[in-house]
Amino acid sequence: MSQLLVVAGILAVFGAIVYLGIMQERKRAAAMQQLATVMGFSYAKDDSGVGLPPRAVTLPLFDRGHSRKAKNLLGGTLADHPVTVLDYTYVTGSGKNRSTHRQTVALFSEAASGLPDLEMAPENIFHKIGAAFGYQDIDFPDDEEFSKRYLLRGSDEAAIRDSFTPAARMLLAQSPGWSVQTKDGAVALFHAGRLWKPEAMPQRLADALSVLNRLERAGG
């Protein structure tokens, strides 16, 4: 009998967690839909029938892990740039090593013209260890703060150095945590593993646009 009570208790706790998760997702979806209305953006609950812009799917973020899902898609224009904002989830590993990664992504599908393909992410201890074994990390000797905060990679190192102007590096160093990816004309900006709060979304998008505008284009 005691074992049955333990099992029943575990199932009850699990059920409560699932229920709270569902309610939180519904609350977030409603808030995102309301935000879309206020901003004059379109809203889609998921990417069924909507899909990501074709250029965007080549970005490294959308090729990671498995069980990939896009929810709460907002579509519109910021400073003449088409933008899609979405909650993106993917899973790495399985079993006890399974990890779910959730982040809100600002996706500018046509804003990378003149920018080289690159990946920038907050630097961690594993990156530092990898660098000791030849893992690429583009550092700036005259900008220690940016270099210690971020891992920067890409095939055209010279072009990437030209794109990351002192103004861009200063902004990123003062606002740590950003990830930036560019490929085939598309740009993704996000904080890995973080969902942006709906009420903070306008400011987050303004910050993302500030980062984007400080990256130097070839011929710019």
Q: Is 215 helix (H, G, I), strand (E, B) or coil?
A: strand
- State how many domains the chain has: 1
In a domain, 60, yes or no: yes
Question: Quick one: what percent of the chain has pLDDT higher than 70?
Answer: 83
Please name the helix (run of DSSP H) or strand (run of DSSP E) that holds residue 204, with its range, or none.
Answer: helix 201-214
pLDDT for residue 207: 96
Task: Tell whether 219 is covered by a domain.
Answer: no
Q: For the residues 147-157, what does the mean pLDDT come to?
A: 94
The per-residue pLDDT of the chain, averaged, comes to: 86
For 19-50, give the DSSP string: HHHHHHHHHHHHHHHHHHHHHT-EEEEESTTT
Q: Indicate whether 220 belongs to any domain.
A: no
The length of the chain in residues reads 220
Residue 108 amino acid letter: F
Domain span holding position 34:
2-214
Cα Rg, the chain, nearest whole Å: 20
Copy the structure tokens of residue 96: 């006890």
Claim: this prediction has a pTM higher than 0.75 = yes
Q: Which pLDDT tens digit goes with each residue over 169-207?
A: 999 999 999 999 999 889 999 999 999 999 999 999 999
Q: Is residue 56 part of a domain?
A: yes
pLDDT range class, residue 220, cuts 50, 70, 90? low
Q: Sign of torsion, CA 170 175 181 185? A: negative
| Predicted confidence (pLDDT) per residue in 120-144, tens digit | 999 876 655 555 545 678 999 999 9
Residue 96 counted as domain residue: yes
Angle, helices 201-214 vs 166-174, to 10°: value is 150
Mean pLDDT over 150-168 rounds to: 95
In a domain? residue 200: yes
For residue 46, what are its two tokens?
A: 């998921």
